Homo-oligomer: A and B are copies of this chain.
Amino acid sequence: MAVESERQSASEDFSTVELALATRNHGFPLESLRYDLTPIGLHYLLIHFDIPQVDPTTWRLEIGGEVGRPLSLSLDELKQRPSTSVACTLECAGNGRARLSPRPLSQPWLDEAIGNAEWTGTPLAPLLEEAEIGEAAVEVLFTGLDRGVQGDVEHFYERSLPVDEARRPEMLLAYEINGQPLPPQHGFPVRLIVPGWYGMTHVKWLDRITVVTEPFEGFQQAKQYRTKQSEDDPGEPVTRIQPRSLLVPPGIPDFPERRRFLEPGPRLLEGRAWSGWAPVTRVEVSVDGGETWQDADLDELTGDYGWRRWSIAWNAEPGEHVLCSRATDGAGNTQPEEPEWNTGGYVNNAVQRVVVTVQR
């Protein structure tokens, strides 16, 4: 069926629980790949529990644990510190999960759990310096104000990073997106930005930062976000974003299937590519479903952590075509053509397939 081939195979029907998550946590419409920066409201969202309602006049960020000098900062105090901005592609670690079989009961993303925004805030490293991290410190734990039950454990959402990672100069306590105060859904008043890492690390609605002397074993760290082959497999932690490229589906869609139709003639295919390991150095495009590949033109890099635009001329001839793009980064990582399965449905960066029908 055309619809199935366009969307790649999704193994089976989806439950009401998955539908409710998909309706709540929205994806990025692929035509928005045309914007350098993703407008607010088009960036993907994955919110585990409820969006907390935070009073910015009483909110404080606590920095404590294994430190010589605990800090407590109001929003104004954070904003008075040096500020910097970074354009950064965020992607959910579960992007592509809906194409895996079997898949866990979780947010069923197809391709669209992405966004590329400019985040503004104050760097984290000088704050950790001021707090005087102790010698016994192993990790830095980031705790949000969002609370709920997952894996039968009631908890605030929290994730840790190794101390060296937390001290990277580009780590940001962000209070603006695209020049505006964070909207509630992106972590108002302050969230963590960890350029290059999958979204689960960018803790929203930050409440406190705790320097710890043992590796953090909370649910979202030790149980979730690991690539396991079975539930007994400890697996490997999900960290940086694997390379991916997506293209703007050309032509016009139908409703509801979103098949694509266009007229014959010369076209410019375009899209964006990114990787959290190193800048993207190559994008190849196939118009025959991966039989043959051609190198696309790459625009200049716009920073180390934002996506990179690519484009390639295509003469659309009548018939059905399967368009694909494949990114390679400077560390030598390339997108696979088929997904690599794991129990949590993480890190499926297999190449996208867009079916288009060219007709007069």
> What is A's interface to B at a CB cutoff of 8 Å?
3-4, 7, 10, 12-27, 29, 31-32, 34-35, 39-43, 45, 47-51, 53, 98, 105-110, 112, 147-150, 154, 183-186, 249, 252-258, 261
- Interchain CB contact (< 8 A) of A98 among B17, B19, B48: B19
Assess the B109–A185 pair: CB atoms within 8 A: no
Residues of B within 8 A of A40 (CB): 40-41, 183
Assess the A17–B112 pair: CB atoms within 8 A: no
> So how many copies of this chain end up in the complex?
2
Closest to A21 in B: B256
Assess the B29–A149 pair: CB atoms within 8 A: no
Residues of B within 8 A of A31 (CB): 50-51, 53
**Would you give 21 A-B contacts (Cβ < 8 Å), ordered by A?**
A3-B16, A3-B17, A13-B14, A13-B15, A14-B19, A17-B258, A19-B108, A20-B110, A20-B258, A24-B26, A39-B183, A39-B184, A41-B43, A41-B183, A41-B185, A41-B186, A49-B253, A49-B255, A50-B253, A147-B252, A150-B254
Closest to A10 in B: B16
Given A24-B27, A31-B53, A149-B253, 5 more pairs with CB closer than 8 A: A23-B109, A26-B27, A29-B185, A49-B255, A150-B255
Closest to A252 in B: B148
Given contacts A183-B41, A185-B41, contact A149 B255 (CB under 8 A): yes
Assess the A34–B53 pair: CB atoms within 8 A: yes
- Closest chain-B Cβ to A149's Cβ sits at a distance in Å of 4
Given contacts A106-B256, A183-B41, contact A51 B29 (CB under 8 A): yes
Assess the B16–A252 pair: CB atoms within 8 A: no
- Closest chain-B Cβ to A339's Cβ sits at a distance in Å of 15
- Closest chain-B Cβ to A26's Cβ sits at a distance in Å of 3
Assess the B19–A19 pair: CB atoms within 8 A: yes
Assess the A29–B24 pair: CB atoms within 8 A: yes
Assess the B16–A4 pair: CB atoms within 8 A: yes
- Closest chain-B Cβ to A356's Cβ sits at a distance in Å of 13
Residues of B within 8 A of A154 (CB): 252, 261
Closest to A3 in B: B17
Residues of B within 8 A of A21 (CB): 256, 258
Closest to A146 in B: B252
- Closest chain-B Cβ to A200's Cβ sits at a distance in Å of 12
Assess the B42–A184 pair: CB atoms within 8 A: yes
Closest to A147 in B: B252
Closest to A152 in B: B254
Task: Give Cα distance in the complex from A256 to B29, angstroms.
Answer: 23
- Closest chain-B Cβ to A242's Cβ sits at a distance in Å of 20
Closest to A261 in B: B149
Residues of B within 8 A of A27 (CB): 23-24, 26
Residues of B within 8 A of A12 (CB): 13
Assess the A19–B18 pair: CB atoms within 8 A: yes
Task: Give Cα distance in the complex from A189 to B109, angstroms.
Answer: 30
Residues of B within 8 A of A7 (CB): 16-17, 20
